[in-house]
Structure formats: structure tokens, C-alpha cells
Copies of this chain bind each other. A is one copy, B any other.
Amino acid sequence: MERTLIEETGAGREVRLCGWIHRLRVLKNAAFIVLRDLSGTVQIVASPEQVAGLKLEDVIEVTGLVRAEPRAAGGREVEWRSGRILNRAVSILPFTSASTLENVPTEVQLQHRPLSLRTEAVGEIFRVQAAILELFRAHLRADRFTEIVTSKLVATGTEGGSNLFEVKYFERVAYLAQSPQFYKEHGVAGLERVFETGHVYRAEPHATSRHLTEYCSLDLELGFVESAEPVMELERRLLTAMFTELNRRFGESIRRRSGAFLPELTKAPIWEFPECVERLRLAGITSPEADLTPEGERMLCTIAERELGVPAVFVVGFPLSKRPFYVHPRGENGAAQSFDLLFRGLEITTGGQRLHTREALEASLRSRGLAPGPFEGHLRMFELGMPPHGGLAIGLERLTAQVLGLANVREATLYPRDRVHLAP
């Protein structure tokens, strides 16, 4: 008999179901199993003898007759005819797939990843993450972007050499890419609009709730952009479209977990960096010379929420000197043609316009004390017909965490990597 998915189990039919024992209750004269598969759960009624030896999280196959039962969840239950254990779980588990996980430390969830994924609470995080990937790509494809796949093994870093992981590459040294920045710029010169969803690496020794050494970057880059504004405008539309669909699919969970439905980012303000520093000063928060602190990022979102009803801010006009060498200046006053997007208290995007001539890139490298030589392979690509361009990158794990109101980016990472974690 073909396997039937639980969701497709209709009353009056004989079915073969496969899944995990989600709940198990054995009374004197009857036993009740709640069976779980990828499509849902259903109650199975058996005799105590039939379920002898079964326990929570065992993987079983059950054939039985479906009958209408108004008192059961879903309005039907299955009468056990025969069953088979496909694989056993161990007897002692730190939690089960029916647990809420509220009191289960993230580390214990991680060490039992298959089991934590089977819970509704954690499984949903990664279903939301999969939807974010799907919607990011779909929106960009509809806007004529082409997906690219670029190498993560590189000969030089994009930012000039810090925080790079070294790879022993035959007789040479390679590095893990910190960003697909160079490649997506080359992609613009070829295909005009490109995106990539892939891993990037930062040898970040600090353990914070926001940093990982390996994360998935949602990258896009497009040609014929001559300031940061069109890139911000694209991100507003992109995220608003994605958030609308996420609200439609997961709205109740998002509201329950994060406190609110996802906002329309079209309403997010654009604030100048000095204005942000001043607003923070008035709120009693000191900012470092050319950046915002995590506390500052949270406060700016709180202010935007209070003033405009949207917990998000585009910050523009950062000092150019603290930005990577490929960032385009905005006028002559030392500001960058770039932006950060803060969302629900955390920076989730950096983007902006890039330099597009070889001469400007060389000058920028020199002004930062970097020799152009090691970047020659990159610089010569700018001589082949490079349009003015810009782009952005969104951290997938950060975005997932902010969408669901998770306190730590590790909760939105199947297998987080940091100084401590290299397994599982």
C-alpha cells in the first residue's frame, strides 16, 4: 500500500502512515498515539498490547482505518490494524518533539538538532528561513536579476586582509571569501543585475549574539546606479514584498514570537549619521567616532517606531574613512554613498554605491595605505566596461532572527560556527 501523508488522511479509507510518535498515552483498555509526519499529526487508537514497547520519538509505520471522530484534532482518527517499528529512539531524551523548548538551553537544542528541528518551535524557524531564501530570490528574478554562484576560495580578501580564514590549497595558501563583493561587481559588468545566496566567512574571534564565523549572505548588485538611493529603494520594495508574504504564511507565529506582524518597510525613514548620533546623544547614548553601538542601533529603531510606527531606519552618510575601499564617496565632505539598514534593533544590511573606475579604486586603496598590486586581478575587470553600480548584502541568519524576535543569531542557524563551535 502506498504511504499516505497525514494531512491527506480522509475518513473511511484504509491508509499506511509513517512518522514519529509525538505523544503516547496508554490507558487500561486503550492506547492513543499522536503520530507526526512532515504534513501534520493524527491520533491513532490502538490496544495497550499493540503499542507495547513503543515510546516517544520512535519511528513507526501504521496501517489502519480512518474514521470520523469529532472529538479528535482534525476531526478524524485512525484505528490501528498493524504496525512496524522502522527505527527506535533512545529511551532518555532531554526533550521531545512535543516540548515547547522554553527551558531547554540553545546548546542542548543544538546538540540534538534532529530532535529540536522536529519541534514546532524550532522547525518553524527554519521553515521561515527557507521562505526568506525563496522570496528573496523570487522577487529579484522577477526584477530581471540573474542568480550567480561564485567561488568561496579566494587568493585575497575583499577588505584587505583582516579576519580571514586560511586554507591549505595544495602548495599555496587560499582564503575563505568574506563576501562575494568583487565577484558580484564583475557579474554586474556581465549580466547587469545579479544575486547570490551563499556562505561567507569572518574569522571573528568575539562571541556576541550577532556574530558568526560562517553565515549565509543574501547578496545583490545592479548596474546603472549612481547613488545609494536606488539601492535603498530596491531594498524597501524587496523587504516589503517579502514581509507581506511572510505575514501571510507565518503571521500569527511572527506576531506571537516577536510581538508584532512584520512592518511595511516603505515607511522606514532615512536618517543621516550625524543626526543619528545627535538623537542618541539626546537619549543618553554615546556613539564611537564613525559607527553605532548595538545599544545605539536598538535605540534608533525604538525612536523610529515611536515617531513613525516602523521599527526600522536606513542610516546614510557614514564617514567614508571607516568603510571598505570600494565604497563610493558622497560629494566631497568625507561621507560615504552607503547605508545600513537597522531593523528591530539590529543592523541587517549594508549597501550602497561602489566605485566603478580603476583609477578611483586605486586612489581609494592608496588612501587606506593598501597597495593596488595584490588587487590587480580585480582592478583590471573594471577596464572591460563597468557600469556605475551598487548593491547590498543581508545576513540571512540575522534577518531570520529579527523576523521572529530571536535573541541570538545562533538560534537562526542550523549549525552555528564561532570560536567555540565547529560541531555538530
Binding site for B on A (CB under 8 A): 3, 5, 18, 20, 37-39, 57-59, 61, 86-87, 89-90, 93, 97, 112-118, 123, 126-127, 129-130, 133-134, 137, 141, 144, 146-155, 165-170, 172, 174, 176, 183, 186-193, 198-199, 201, 203, 205, 213-214, 216, 223-224, 356-357, 377-378, 381-388, 396, 414-417, 419, 422-424
Q: How far is the CA of A214 from the CA of B154 in the complex (A)?
A: 11
CB pair B86–A422 under 8 Å, yes or no, is no
Given A149-B216, A214-B151, verify A169-B422 contact (CB < 8 Å): yes
Q: Which of B59, B183, B191 contacts A385 (CB 8 A)?
A: B59
Contact of A168 among B93, B165, B384, B415 (CB under 8 A): B165
A57 B385 Cβ-Cβ under 8 A: yes
Please give, as numbers and ranges, the residues of chain B lying within 8 Å of A148 by CB-CB distance.
126, 130, 414
Asked if B116 and A190 make an inter-chain contact with CB atoms under 8 angstroms apart, the answer reads yes
Decide yes or no: A191 and B126 within 8 Å by CB, A89-B385, A386-B59 being known contacts. Answer: yes
Smallest CB separation, A256 vs chain B (Å) = 21
Is A186 touching B387 in the complex (CB atoms < 8 A)?
A: no
A155: B residues at CB distance < 8 A: 422-423
The reply to whether B112 and A423 contact each other, CB–CB distance below 8 Å, is no
Kindly provide the distance from the CB of A209 to the nearest chain B CB, expressed in whole angstroms. 19
A/B interface sample: 28 pairs, CB < 8 A: A18-B387, A38-B144, A38-B191, A39-B144, A57-B385, A59-B387, A86-B387, A87-B357, A90-B384, A114-B190, A114-B386, A115-B190, A116-B190, A117-B190, A117-B191, A118-B189, A127-B191, A134-B147, A149-B396, A149-B414, A150-B415, A152-B214, A153-B201, A153-B422, A165-B169, A166-B168, A377-B424, A378-B424
In Å, the complex CA distance between A154 and B199 comes to 14
Q: Would you call B186 and A383 a contact (CB within 8 A)?
A: no
A415 CA to B183 CA, complexed, in Å? 9
Find chain B residues with CB under 8 A from A193 CB. 38
B147 in contact with A114 (CB, 8 Å): no
Task: State in angstroms the CA–CA spacing of A130 and B155 once bound together.
Answer: 25
Chain A to chain B: the 8 pairs with minimum beta-carbon distance, closest first? A117-B190, A114-B189, A38-B192, A57-B385, A130-B147, A151-B415, A89-B385, A90-B383
- B contact residues around A386 at 8 Å (CB): 59, 87, 114
Q: Are B147 and A133 in contact (CB under 8 A)?
A: yes
List chain B residues, Cβ under 8 A from A188.
Answer: 114
Q: List residues of chain B with CB within 8 A of the CB of A20.
A: 385, 387
Chain B's closest residue to A7 (CB) is B144
A151-B383 Cα distance, complex, nearest whole Å = 36
Residues of chain B lying within 8 A (CB to CB) of residue A37 = 192
Residues of B within 8 A of A189 (CB): 114-115, 117-118
In Å, the complex CA distance between A424 and B191 comes to 17
Asked if residues A381 and B3 are in contact (CB atoms below 8 Å), the reply is no
| Chain B residue, CB-CB nearest to A141 | B134
Residues in B with CB closer than 8 Å to A129 are: 147, 149
Which of A61, A137, A224, A377 has the largest number of chain B CB atoms within 10 A? A224
B residues near A144, Cβ cutoff 8 Å: 5, 38-39
